[in-house]
Chains A and B, each alone.
Chain A
Amino acid sequence: MRKINKIFTFTYNNYSDWRIIKMASKNADRALVEIAFHGRGGQGGITASNLLVKAAYNTGKYPFVMAFPVFGPERRGAPVGAYARISTHQLFDRTKIDEPDIMVIMDHSILKSVNPITSLKEGGTLLVNAPGTVNDFRKEYGVHPSIKLGIVDILQIDIDIGLMIGGNIPILNTPILGAFCKLFEDIPLDVMLDVIKEKFSGNGKATLNAKGATIAFESLQVS
Chain B
Amino acid sequence: MVDYKDPKSTIAAVQVPSEGEAGKTGSWRSFKPVFNPEKCILIKSEKARCHICWMFCPEVAITKSRPPTINLDYCKGCGICSTECPHGAITMKKE
- The answer on direct contact between A and B (beta carbons under 8 Å) is no
Task: Please give the residue numbers on chain B whose beta carbons come within 8 Å of chain A beta carbons, in ascending order.
Answer: none
